[in-house]
Chain A
Amino acid sequence: MGKRFKKTLFSVFCLGLILQGVSSLQARQEGASATGEGKNFLRYEIWVELDEETKMLRGKEDIFWSNWTQEPIPDFWFHLYWNAFKNERSTVFQESREEGRLGIQVGDDDWGWIDITAATLADGTDLIPTLEFINQDEPTHPGDQTVARFLLPEPLLPGQEMCLRLEFEAKIPRGILRTGYYQDSYFIAQWFPKPGVYERGKGWNCHEYHLNSEFFADFADFTVHITVPARYVVGASGKQVSAVSDAAGKKVTYTFEQTNIHDFAWTAAPHFIKVERDFLAAQEVTEEEYAAVARMVNLPPEDIRLPDVKMILLILPEHKSQVERHFKALRAAIKYYGLWYGPYPYETVTMVDPPFRTGSGGMEYPTLFTAGTGVLRDRKVLSPEGVIIHEFGHGYWYGLVANNEFEEAWLDEGINTYSTGKVQAKAYGPGMMPASLFGIPLTWFFKFPVYYDYELDRIAAILAVELDPITTFSWHFYSRASYGMNVYMRASTCLHTLERLLGEEKMLRILRTFQARFRFKHPRTQDFVDVVNEIAGQDMGWFFEEFFFNTLNFDYGIASLKSYEKKEFFRGFFDVDGKKEKVTRASISRLEKGKGKEAGEKTYTTEVRVRRYGEAKVRGEARLKLRVLFEDGSEETRFWDGQERWEKFIFEKPTRAVSAEVDPDFIWLIDSNLANNSMRLKPCRKGILRVVTKVFFWVQLGLSGLWGLT
């Protein structure tokens, strides 16, 4: 086939795309984002072939892209993510070096890269001479080649479309940052040249590949043709529409299609076992469940009905016994995410048990995610269940509500960590702490404590609070640990706190509204705050100010509790009828005897000092509740605005206090010291003794074990 002929064919193809694109563009303009954020119409058709000998991908990619904004665009920016693995001068490796041992390791033969070998517009204009790598993220890493741009021969005018054909070659890295190969297994993610997101009035949002961050791209329609050796089992984003063998029967080309997704990943390995099941909504969800959720979200039950979904599992042979475990978790995820946050809109979801040593476990891609398990797993420990629920959940928070993960990762990771905990608790209850020795689960033999996710999240939340605000750009966090702890766990803890503050029903409505309003869009934190304010019916901006945009520790507690008999007589000199009268201890004693005071008539003064130990404050309409319990079983409640550093509360009752407690309803999960939230009048060590007794044995065992060294 001649070059001119190919160019003509390409032009005809692009014309078809343009016509299709214009109609879609019109349809989308009608449903423009409420936030004013423009969306670019985007469509890909990609042909890629896996060369297993050289570990290379060779591909062609047609990108149809239109200028959705009101401004002319002079250039075209795109990601070449695999160049992060090209050499140690990439941003990823530079950042990794700063992390020390937490950084990534790569062998001399494990590098990967991607080269654009040809780039032409529909009219045949060659863009390769204009190719330029961009380093605009601060701090700059000049050697990084993960973002590039073409200068367009003419600026792309508002409403104008362009059709770009790229040809690329990519060396597949040995499993690194959730992509790559090991032996003959491949997990291929972030592999194709992907345009950045053009933001109206701001220009291209196209960040380098950072160690801490994930990704951001526009919604698009994908058609991807993947050619692999015939022995491979392939899974990919979207729906498989064909599988065609070549004449020799040595290669098979799989075609996958999916509309309205913003990324595309695939996997291929010869030993995958492919299992399919259907999520049948009629069997999974009862009418009572629909009715209960409908009441909570204030919608008719028919509006929240779930569709059926084809569930595809690619699992390794050594995990075959866990097939049903995987599907059970996925069913729970489809059910509860669907009921709570809106129906899953795609026909398929593909769950991949990550190929051995490709390091690709626990990651989300549109309509496809990787789980991760081991050969010996205890059912009491919710793994792989937790990761399955979490990664499927990203289909909602990242997949459908597609925030900028570079800049505001909490919007998907934080909300999804919160959601995962809710779904997991609903479907499974608490899970047992994982513990294993030489690969053998110790939980088979010993009873380890059980916990809900929010408990674990809280530990990270209070440890990470003073490092970074949750809303920090991903690569600007103090460390990788701070990124993880703040973005996932602290954000989740704050959302749990918000739920406790506003009520479960309002929180559900907030998340459902946020999901519905920003599906297939790119919301920002302020969009979430706006939804919270709207549903809560009050200005909750302070909550985000205190907990998301700042590094303020939240800790209120009882500083002191005193309960003593109220004085009726006072010593000293007093002016009585113009004379000085002296009152002594002896005279008080006489007065009391004369009065015939009995124990039952005594009045006790109870003083409670509540302190704000942290910098964060309750604000807005929120108040801090104080509850004091008394010996006669009565209780008193007071509310404090919590603005000053401390406040004294005084109660006068014919009985002594037993205890005082701030936040007795346990609303402020984010409080960094729950122990000081309450105080007894008299100490009690029973619980402490029970714990120490239990630990005592383990210390003895440890000491007994030392004999082995003598």
Chain B
Amino acid sequence: MSTLKIFGKGFLTAIRKTRLALYVWLATVLFSLVILAPIYFLLSHDFSRSLAGDRLDQGPLLLWLGDMIYQHRDDFPFLAGWTIVPAFLFLLLYVFLNGGILGRISVNERVNLPAFLSDSARYFWRFVRVFLLSILGYILVLGILGRGVSALLGVWIKKASSQWSTLAASLLKLLVFLLLYSLVKMFFDYVKVRLVVTESKKTARATLANFQFLGRRFFRAWGLFLLCGLVFIALSLVYYLGAKAIPAGGVIPLGILFLWQQVYVLALAWIVVFFFSTEYEFFKAHQYQPAEQT
């Protein structure tokens, strides 16, 4: 099956399973509320009875921001902790949700919440192990290989004679970083797909097997991954242009902007489903035909 055909199949699967994106979106909403709660209460404490409260998003931003910084300069460690801890928990929640997403993609059934949660729980510990392995992967590839590339570029920019060289080096570094990142991300996505498709619990074995699987069809797999990345970029561009078209100020434009933003966050969640769908279809097309579908 050609890469484009797999891409199309993955796209259709993601459309069919859009409800999965809704679950992910809901999770971001809930966690965002948790993270924002102390900020809301701080703002309420400082501004709900102040006339400055009316102008928080209109008047000079730095004046009230300065007040906040000064009043709460000793609270920053707490606020940073409050932001980091939920973010870490959300990371784990994503690991959990990934199981549900892949589990529901792999079966030809309508998506429902109990089944989704059941799959999430079923694959959770396997995916946690993949997550830990992926951290090792990121360290090895980005930390060592990426640093090597940085060092090479460093030699070049050390002798630079204009700012263009440093800018070019900086952009090149970004590009290399993104490409290396995409490799690691894709690799461990396929490990997860393999664990779901084969119903295996052996993470290390699946990881090793994945080297063989991707080694044989590396460029096709990577091309597909980058193609999905283009969809993400296209969606972001659509969001950006839409957001720019919404006039500033007023309650109604603010409401419209908020809805548009939520559509975008939902689209980002859908992109997650879309990536997994195409990877699942690719894996299925090249490696494994589940008994119930043959």
Contact = CB atoms under 8 A, between A and B. Distances in A.
A438 B150 CA distance: 14
Interface in A661-695: 661, 672-680, 683-688, 690-695
A700 B28 contact: yes
Given A455-B60, A692-B43, A710-B94, A685 B51 contact: no
Nearest to B260: A697
A445 B265 CA distance: 19
A699 B37 CA distance: 12
A688 B48 contact: yes
A438 B64 contact: no
B266 to A, nearest CB: 10
B32 A696 contact: yes
A84 to B, nearest CB: 25
B70 interface: yes
A394 B187 CA distance: 58
15 contacts: A318-B164, A356-B161, A445-B240, A451-B62, A452-B60, A455-B62, A463-B73, A675-B52, A683-B48, A686-B54, A690-B57, A692-B39, A697-B261, A699-B36, A703-B31
Interface in A414-445: 438-440, 445
A687 B47 contact: yes
B40 A692 contact: yes
Most buried by A among B32, B66, B95, B163: B66
Contacts of B56: 687-688, 690-691
Interface stretch (B166-174, B201-209, B216-224, B282-290): B166-174
Contacts of A695: 36, 39
Contacts of A697: 258, 261-262, 265
Contact of A375 (B28, B164, B258): B164
Nearest to A553: B70
Interface in A303-355: 316-318
A688 B53 contact: yes
Interface string B46-87: 111111111111101111111101110100000000000001
Most buried by B among A456, A678, A704: A704
Contact of B46 (A449, A675, A680, A693): A675
A22 B174 CA distance: 66
Contacts of A677: 50, 52
A707 interface: yes
A231 to B, nearest CB: 15
A659 interface: yes
A438 B60 contact: no
A680 B49 contact: yes
Given A684-B53, A710-B95, A459 B87 contact: no
B272 interface: yes
Contact of B50 (A445, A680, A694, A706): A680
A445 B244 CA distance: 9
What is the size category of the interface that chain A forms with chain B? 35 or more
A516 interface: no
Given A703-B87, A706-B91, A709-B134, 7 more contacts: A316-B162, A317-B162, A455-B63, A675-B71, A683-B48, A706-B94, A708-B181
A684 B54 contact: yes
B254 interface: yes
A458 interface: yes
B69 A459 contact: yes
Given A675-B46, A688-B44, A702-B87, A462 B70 contact: yes
A683 B237 CA distance: 40
A102 interface: no
A413 B181 CA distance: 46
A332 B33 CA distance: 47
Most buried by A among B32, B49, B134: B49
Contacts of B53: 675, 684-688
A451 B63 CA distance: 9
Nearest to B138: A709
B163 A356 contact: yes
A70 interface: no
A680 B44 contact: no
B98 interface: yes
Interface in A447-491: 447, 449, 451-452, 455-456, 458-459, 462-463
A129 B47 CA distance: 70
B284 to A, nearest CB: 22
B15 interface: no
A677 B47 CA distance: 11
A440 B95 CA distance: 33
B51 A678 contact: yes
Interface string A205-248: 00000000000000000000000000000000000000000000
Contact of A675 (B64, B87, B138, B258): B64
B16 to A, nearest CB: 20
Nearest to A694: B57
A691 B43 CA distance: 9
A459 B49 CA distance: 22
B145 interface: no
Contacts of B65: 459
B131 interface: yes
B185 interface: yes
A318 B162 CA distance: 7
Contacts of A34: none
The 4 A-B residue pairs with the shortest CB-CB distance, nearest first, are A455-B62, A459-B66, A678-B51, A683-B48
Given A449-B61, A675-B47, A708-B185, A688 B66 contact: no
Contacts of B69: 459, 463
A285 to B, nearest CB: 30
A356 B166 CA distance: 11
Contacts of B179: none
Given A462-B70, A673-B71, A678 B91 contact: no
Contacts of A679: 49-50
Contacts of A455: 60-63, 66
Contact of A438 (B131, B138, B170, B240): B170
Contacts of B43: 688, 691-692
A455 B62 CA distance: 6
Given A676-B50, A703-B87, A709-B91, A439 B167 contact: yes
A535 to B, nearest CB: 28
A374 interface: yes
A183 interface: yes
A614 B33 CA distance: 35
Contacts of A356: 160-163
A680 B51 contact: yes
Nearest to A710: B94
B62 A458 contact: yes
A704 B269 contact: yes
Most buried by B among A679, A691, A695: A691
A79 B288 CA distance: 81
Contacts of A659: 51
Contacts of A700: 28-29, 32, 261, 265
A576 interface: no
A701 interface: yes
B111 interface: no
A376 interface: yes
B254 A661 contact: no
Contacts of B262: 697
A445 B29 CA distance: 25
A173 B62 CA distance: 40
A694 to B, nearest CB: 7
B268 interface: yes
A175 to B, nearest CB: 13
A439 B248 CA distance: 28
Interface in A368-422: 374-376
B32 A687 contact: no
B90 interface: yes
B153 interface: no
Contacts of B214: none
Contacts of A316: 162-163
Given A375-B167, A451-B61, A692-B40, A710 B70 contact: no
